[in-house]
Amino acid sequence: MAPKSFKDFSNSVMSMFTTAPAPKPEPEKAATPDFLTSPDAVLKDDARWRYGRAPDYSNTREVFRQTKQKDHGDGSLEMIVQNLVKNWEIEASFKMDLKDWRTIDHDNYSFAINGGEPQTGEHMLKVGTYNAIIASNEYYSPATSDFAQSHKTFKRMMPTFAWEVLEVYSGPPKVAFRWRHWGEMKNDYVGFNDKGEKITAKAHGGLIDIQGVTVAQVDSNVRLQSVQTWFDPLEMFRQIAPNGVVNKEPQSTGSVEEKPGNATATAPNAEETKRVHAEMSTMNPAMCPVLSNSNGFAA
């Protein structure tokens, strides 16, 4: 074999010390929002919480684990949707400033029930999550209860109200899914209906289980935009009084004298509202039906 020329030899040596150009680094993937991976992600947020602190969902989460119907795998579309809605429910119920809600696209968010007019986040903050989804009926009227009173009415009756996704029919950006919301009626239901009557249904200790369908438009960060939900709002009340047996007490516009064995109360007025707010704000988490046994309306 003919000896290599000096030029060939030089090129051979140089090639030993020459490295190929480094490949361009792949763009980093955006981190998955924590509210899609954990149902309690937003509880860690530094926000202006209703009643002065983040709520405790431990009781409801335990009921969920023990009595849920579905067991979705981590990272599944069903689990992602379930976590999103549970975090949204926490924010809608307990974060007092809309700007602190991380689960929504603020510029495009709306919420509608049964084909009704879309509601803003501000509207839900004003009236409360229960009043935003329950239409006035023979058992309950949003006109007689503000945010705090409505939560007290339902959470005293049913201290835990768990929520789960049953099926997901389509993925982002338009997510359609069927859900279940359930709890145990441990205490009497006491509320005011659309006629101003005080309605009382005795606790039966049984299951209250309602289901519905939601279609939600989400953005590229899987934040809620347009949310449309369909369900029968009277189904809960039919299960509260399965035999249709309730006590109805007509209320006068003034004070009503209580008589032994026939206790009555007027529909909430300004003084009653003030008293309820004061009571809710001073309760510690162990005493408060909202803080110690928060629901999950998503939750």
The confidence score (pLDDT) of residue 245 equals: 79
Which of 123-137, 238-252, 267-281 is the least confident region? Answer: 267-281
The confidence score (pLDDT) of residue 243 equals: 85
The confidence score (pLDDT) of residue 285 equals: 35
Given a cut of 60, whether residue 267 has pLDDT beyond it is no
Q: Which helix (H) or strand (E) holds 118?
A: none
Report how far Cα 83 is from the mean position of its chain's Cα atoms. Answer: 10
Between CA 216 and CA 225 the distance in angstroms is 7
Eight-state DSSP code of residue 103 = S
**pLDDT, the chain, mean:** 82
- For residues 48-60, give the mean pLDDT: 95
Given a cut of 70, whether residue 10 has pLDDT beyond it is no
Given a cut of 70, whether residue 273 has pLDDT beyond it is no
- For residues 199-221, give the mean pLDDT: 97
The confidence score (pLDDT) of residue 255 equals: 37
Between CA 232 and CA 137 the distance in angstroms is 12
Between CA 253 and CA 229 the distance in angstroms is 36
Given a cut of 90, whether residue 101 has pLDDT beyond it is yes
Between CA 239 and CA 234 the distance in angstroms is 9
Laid out side by side, the sheet with 189-192 consists of 189-192, 198-201, 247-249
pLDDT greater at residue 262 or residue 102: 102
64 pLDDT band, cuts 50/70/90, is very high
pLDDT greater at residue 173 or residue 270: 173
The confidence score (pLDDT) of residue 137 equals: 92
Eight-state DSSP code of residue 259 = B
- For residues 219-242, give the mean pLDDT: 96
What proportion of the chain, given as a percentage, has pLDDT over 70? 74
Distances, alpha carbon 170 to alpha carbons 12, 51, 174, in Å: 60, 37, 7
- For residues 186-211, give the mean pLDDT: 95
The confidence score (pLDDT) of residue 197 equals: 93
What's the whole-model pTM score?
0.76
The confidence score (pLDDT) of residue 246 equals: 87
Residues present in the chain in total? 299
Given a cut of 50, whether residue 53 has pLDDT beyond it is yes
5 pLDDT band, cuts 50/70/90, is low
Closest Cα partner for 289 from 150, 194, 166, 82? 150
- For residues 1-30, give the mean pLDDT: 55
The residue with tokens 């409801």 is 60
Q: Which helix (H) or strand (E) holds 71?
A: none
Q: Which long-range contacts (CB under 8 A, 24 or more apart) does 193-196 make?
A: 193/136, 193/137, 193/138, 193/139, 193/140, 193/141, 193/144, 193/248, 194/136, 194/137, 194/138, 194/141, 194/143, 195/138, 195/250, 196/141, 196/144, 196/250, 196/251, 196/267
Q: Which helix (H) or strand (E) holds 231?
A: strand 224-231
What proportion of the chain, given as a percentage, has pLDDT over 90? 67
Tokens for 263, please give them.
């206790």
CB 111 within 8 A of CB 127: no
pLDDT in tens, 116-171: 999 999 999 999 999 999 999 999 999 988 898 999 999 999 999 999 999 999 99
- For residues 171-188, give the mean pLDDT: 97
